[in-house]
């Protein structure tokens, strides 16, 4: 069961081929470079690679403006290079999923070029047109710094086309059965080349009512059909959905109790509440989020994350809460984006405090769900605020302290995306140095992944948020098949004494720390008391004294 539902306790690693590794020395990352770096992910314990868009593109939106869904951008390699990448990943036991960006195309896509050539074009109904722009909801404009409307006038055909994102990204008309069939062909094509699923971009916008015609299909019927197609081709393939909605609306995208739509959904609310808890040194907001979070269907899963490739959105916090997080982690306007999020990475937000950073990743890997890492998180990369918008966190991977951070052998003038400098530049933050340092963030995350994989209860079990008796401490337990693990995290820098009550456990069991040496006794009434250092984190397994894991001192 655990192998069939591999996504339940996978470790997902998101990377952008363009910024990961340059294999031919032209200053741009490519599949050949990524092939040479897969062993880094294998050593960490990554079980699934998520590829950001690698399709042909004018690259006006970092590859999300696509001109051909059936090929590889020539800058990044060929279909042959892609197949070789898939083969090497499979050889290491790593699955691969890729972005499915079918909400829109580039305005340079042949479909749209043909669609705007005439109102009688065979591709006309593949897009959404109107004689006059429908009223705009300002909240619906995704990029308010660049766009002021969702409609763009086309002079040749004298109609407006709809674009939820940038004006150069016209939305596809997913009500059209021909478009639905084409989306299935795209899935089928890449699955034949080895993909184990897709991360679906902007799920709530994929099927939406934008005109008064009322002819759009039920979005959940559309996603159920898409999932059914996926399952017929490969029963173990998944859809990972970007569904940033309130919980009551979001669970419908799982397929409610049936779980026949999106396999995994990102938990944006828990992520945002985590940052609020970090800003306050108070576990309350995080605990409340997990208590409110609905249970995913039996074969579905929540995806947890610290940040992703976009802005770190805080849109589900109220205005006062958002200002708290801004004040703590991004007080300068240049660190913020769209008035709703941050364009920074975790280490810079936490002032480089390694113990606090390690605690946050310990929290990530113990939260109920499947953890997703963004490339560079494992070494604590920073951002480059000199770059525009979301590009600040999409800088090249830092492999060595040498020229171009080991990303490319090209002349530095050919590397199009500049890296951070100073304390977060490759001279100070790189894979090569951290591989040799047992106390590095890379060593810590590698260790966390190993223990996470040894604790399927975190991903598979029923979880309970515990009262630790201290505001700054977040504690929860996970139970599965008679086994119990407990995770406790101190969000503050001061040492505290923690007491938790574990219903169903008594003095016949002990808590053995999986991250450090130490065993904690449980009283007859199920209570356990122990100290927690500032930004401390402890993972416990409940077991009998005879079967408890050994301390390292006992072995030596």
State the greatest distance between any 2 C-alpha atoms of the chain, in Å, as a whole number.
80
CA 139 to chain centre: 24
Q: Which helix (H) or strand (E) holds 34?
A: helix 31-44
Q: Do residues 510 and 541 make contact, with C-beta atoms less than 8 angstroms apart?
A: no
Smallest Cα–Cα separation from 347: which of 377, 322, 373, 325? 377
Sequence-distant (6+) residues with CB within 8 A of 27 are: 408, 410, 411, 414, 415, 416
Give me the long-range contacts of 151-160 (CB less than 8 A, separation at least 24): 154/116, 156/116, 156/117, 157/116, 157/118, 157/119, 157/129, 159/119, 159/129, 159/130, 159/131, 160/129, 160/130, 160/131, 160/132, 160/133
CB 302 within 8 A of CB 294: no
Q: Tokens 């490739």 appear where? A: 309
- The tokens of 83 are what? 């197949």
Q: Which of 349, 269, 350, 279 is nearest to 317 (CA)?
A: 269
The single residue listed with the structure tokens 């800058």 is 75
Q: How far apart, in whole angstroms, are the C-alpha atoms of residue 299 and residue 7?
A: 9
Location of structure tokens 């970090």: 278
Catalytic residues: 201, 242
- CA proximity to 415, closest of 403, 430, 432, 401: 403
């Amino acid at each position: 069961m655990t192998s069939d539902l591999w996504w339940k306790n996978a470790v997902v690693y998101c990377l952008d081929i363009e910024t990961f590794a340059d294999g031919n020395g032209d200053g741009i990352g490519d599949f050949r470079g990524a092939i040479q770096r897969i062993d880094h992910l294998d050593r960490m314990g990554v079980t699934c690679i998520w590829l950001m868009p690698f399709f042909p593109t004018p690259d006006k939106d970092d590859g999300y403006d696509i001109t051909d869904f059936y090929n590889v951008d020539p800058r990044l390699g060929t279909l042959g290079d892609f197949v070789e990448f898939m083969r090497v990943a499979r050889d290491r036991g790593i699955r691969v999923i890729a972005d499915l960006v079918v909400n829109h195309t580039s305005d340079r896509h042949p479909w749209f070029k043909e669609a705007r050539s005439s109102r009688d074009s065979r591709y006309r109904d593949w897009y959404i047109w109107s004689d006059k722009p429908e009223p705009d909801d300002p909240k619906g404009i995704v990029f308010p710094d660049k766009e002021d409307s969702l409609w763009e006038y086309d002079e040749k055909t004298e109609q407006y086309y709809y674009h939820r994102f940038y004006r150069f990204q016209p939305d596809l008309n997913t009500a059209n059965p021909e478009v639905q069939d084409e989306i299935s062909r795209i899935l089928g094509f890449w699955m034949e080349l080895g993909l184990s699923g897709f991360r679906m971009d902007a799920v709530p916008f994929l099927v939406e009512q934008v005109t008064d015609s009322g002819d759009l299909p039920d979005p959940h019927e559309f996603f159920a059909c898409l999932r059914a197609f996926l399952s017929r081709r490969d029963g173990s393939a998944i859809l990972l959905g970007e569904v940033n909605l309130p919980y009551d609306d979001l669970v419908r995208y799982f397929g409610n109790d049936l779980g026949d739509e999106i396999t995994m959904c990102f938990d944006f609310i828990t992520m945002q509440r985590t940052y609020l808890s970090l800003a306050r040194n108070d576990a309350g907001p995080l605990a409340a989020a997990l208590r409110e979070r609905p249970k995913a269907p039996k074969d579905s899963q929540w995806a947890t994350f610290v940040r992703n490739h976009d802005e770190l959105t805080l849109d589900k916090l109220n205005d006062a809460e958002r200002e708290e997080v801004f004040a703590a982690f991004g007080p300068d306007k240049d660190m913020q984006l769209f008035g709703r999020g941050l364009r920074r990475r975790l280490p810079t937000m936490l002032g480089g405090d390694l113990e606090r950073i390690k605690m946050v990743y310990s929290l990530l890997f113990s939260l109920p769900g499947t953890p997703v890492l963004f490339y560079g998180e494992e070494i604590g990369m920073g951002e480059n605020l000199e770059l525009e918008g979301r590009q600040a966190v999409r800088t090249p991977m830092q492999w060595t302290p040498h020229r171009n951070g080991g990303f490319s052998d090209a002349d530095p003038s050919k590397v199009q995306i500049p890296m951070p400098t100073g304390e977060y530049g490759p001279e100070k933050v790189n894979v090569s140095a951290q591989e040799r340092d047992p106390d590095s963030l890379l060593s810590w995350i590698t260790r966390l992944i190993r223990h996470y994989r040894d604790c399927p209860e975190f991903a598979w079990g029923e979880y309970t948020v515990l009262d630790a008796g201290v505001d700054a401490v977040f504690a929860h337990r996970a139970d599965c098949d008679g086994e119990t693990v407990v995770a406790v995290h101190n969000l503050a820098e001061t040492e505290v004494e923690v007491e938790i009550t574990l219903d169903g456990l008594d003095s016949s069991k002990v808590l053995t720390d999986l991250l450090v040496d130490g065993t904690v006794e449980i009283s007859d009434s199920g209570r356990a008391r122990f100290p927690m250092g500032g930004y401390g984190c402890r993972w416990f397994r409940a077991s009998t004294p005879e079967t408890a894991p050994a301390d390292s001192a006992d072995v030596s």
